[in-house]
Structure formats: structure tokens, C-alpha cells
Amino acid sequence: MDWSTFPREKTNCILCGSNSFSLLSTQMTWPVVRCRNCGFVYLAERPSEDDLARMYSKSYYEDGDVGYKGYVNIFEQYHDTFLKIFRRRHRDLIKRANGRRLLEVGCAYGFLLDFLRTKYWEVTGIEISPLSSAYARDQLHLNVHTGSVESVNLPAESFDVILLLDVLEHLHRPFDTLRRIRSLLAPGGILVVQCPWELFHWEEVAEARYKRMRPGTIKPDAVPAHLYFFQPSSLEGVLRKAGFRIIGRQSGNYGAVRRLVVPPCINRGTAFERLLRYVYFRLGLQRLFYLIARLTGLGNGIIRYAVPSKDDVDL
Ligand SMILES: [Zn+2]
């Protein structure tokens, strides 16, 4: 599918409302910009909400142009790696949750929910894609609704944990979603948000410097499905604006699965570059860096735990 020819809409900065920005790069005709007022990084032009929703049908999970290439196959092939990630998620959740009623917003095929219910979580899912949500219901027999969290009818204050993993960067109306999530959280309930840190992350800055490019200009993943390119401060800014208070910070890495699915190409460029890539990717230097990054809060996965703040917030 050629997304460069799709109709587009212009948008302002979601964090401060400014329409003044500087262009960082153009990715497949889509402008990645930085807000001059607050520094938020986003797509200043994007496909319409309806067009993107249509993309989360088969093509997003199968073609690999913007999203994934064979999502279910990847999960089955690298099952053990995913299980390790899921176990860690479960351990992190039981440390913080005050109950077992869990909702995952944007649950895709439901693989995480399928795992969590074996650990005695009462799981519910919401997924916009008819394809993946049908799989979760029909193949995995999960309680998964098709639609958006705003459109699906669920009782207020009925969840102890709401997961929003790799979803916020896809949403046209993130504050509508976050407001609805606030109303679905039971007293003492927590929201868990995870987003990739794609631009201005240390690895992106290093790569850009090496290639004599400006930081923030390396191609991020999944344009134009990713509408925002969060950093820890901007993600927290969005959560605060939506009426949440941050109660926990954690760092993860997207490296493990990516390294398996798309092994980095070593043999290209000068002899020095090949040696550098070999040491970085094959001899485990990247893994060492990622471990240090995760422990120091600088991993490329930003994870935040949040609760509704007491003050009423105007959206
Ligand atoms: Zn701004």
C-alpha cells in the first residue's frame, strides 16, 4: 500500500496547541516536526483517523510497509522471547496493582491478555482492528471488544489496571482516550503507559552524529501510523495534561524481538563500519548498553505508571 499518496490533514502541537514548528525530516512525504514552543515532536500532517483505522485491518499486521510483517507468525516463532517479556510485565504489575481486574486498550491479537489470565488476572481487551480483535475472541476465547475505548460500553470505575502499551503514539485524540480511561479506573486503579522513544534517544543521536545528520532526523518506525515521537518529558506532559499523576517510572527496550526479527546487516560500508557493527550487534555491546540504559532510565521503551490526579483538569 502506498501511504505517501494518502489524503492528509494538518495538525497543531497536542501538548501546547502551538502551530509554530521546525521541520526535522520528511519521511515518505510525511513531515516530522518539533514544536517551537514546547519541543514536542509530531507529524504536522497525518492521515485521517478513518484512513488509519482502515489500515489497522490486514495490511498493518501483514504487509510490513508501515506496521508488522506476519504478526502471528512472529509471535509463534519467537514465543519464548515474548513469554519472557510477558512474565516481566506480570511481575511489574503485581508489585503495583491493587486488584486483578485488568483492561488492555489496544490489545491487538490478545497474546499478552492470554498470558496474563493464566496468572489469575481477570482480563478484558479493546482493539480497533476488526481482524486482530476477532482473532482474540475466536481463537483465544478472550473477552475482547472491537472499537475504541470511547465507543465500547463498559461500566465506570470497573478496572484496577488499564494497560495502554504502544498505543498512545497512534491516537488522533489522545486526550479523549485518556479521559475515558480515567473514568474506567476504580478507586486505587493505575494506568500503565508504554511508548517507544524513537527520536532524540541516545542511540538515535549517536547514529545521526555518525552519519553527519542532525539528531531527530533518523527515520522513526511506522510513519504515518505513529503520530507522535515521545521522550520521557513529553509523555509525562501529555499524561499530566490529561489529569494523571505519575507514580512510577520504568525503562524498557524494544531490542530483543527486533534483533531476532530483523537481524542487523553487518556487511555493508567500509571495513571500519563493518567492524563497528560486528562489535556492537554481534559481540553484545548493544545488549550491554541496553542493560545499562534500562537500569538508568534511558532505554528506548518509556514506561509510566499513573493515577488520576485529585485536581480537576480542563481538557
Ligand atoms: Zn507545543
Q: Which residues pair with 126 in a beta bridge?
A: 105, 145
Task: Count other C-beta atoms under 10 Å from residue 290's C-beta.
Answer: 23
Residue 37 CA to ligand 1 center (angstroms) comes to: 5
Reported as a single tens digit per residue, the pLDDT across 124-154 is: 999 999 989 999 999 999 999 999 999 999 9
Distance CA 111, CA 109 (A): 6
Q: Please, what's the b/e burial string for 31-52 (b: 16 or more CB within 10 A of its CB; e: otherwise)?
A: bbbbbeeeebbbbbbbbeeeeb
Residue 313 has pLDDT above 60, yes or no: no
Give pTM, 2 decimals: 0.91
Q: Is the peptide bond between 224 and the residue preceding it cis, with omega within 30 degrees of 0?
A: yes
CB 16 within 8 A of CB 35: yes
Task: Count other C-beta atoms under 10 Å from residue 120's C-beta.
Answer: 10
Give the pLDDT confidence score for residue 66 in this predicted structure: 62
* Phi, psi angle pair for 222, to nearest 5°: 60, 30
Give the pLDDT confidence score for residue 177 in this predicted structure: 97
Domain limits, the chain: 50-193+231-254+300-308
Distance CA 244, CA 85 (A): 26
Fold of 50-193+231-254+300-308: Rossmann fold (3.40.50)
Distance CA 140, CA 241 (A): 36
Residue type, position 166, single letter: D
CB 266 within 8 A of CB 274: yes
Residue 244 CA to ligand 1 center (angstroms) comes to: 19
Residue 248 CA to ligand 1 center (angstroms) comes to: 24
* Phi, psi angle pair for 191, to nearest 5°: -105, 135
Reported as a single tens digit per residue, the pLDDT across 56-85 is: 776 666 666 666 667 788 888 888 989 999
DSSP state of 278: I
What residues are neighbours of ligand 1 (ion), with CB under 5 Å?
Answer: 13, 15-16, 18, 35, 37-38, 40
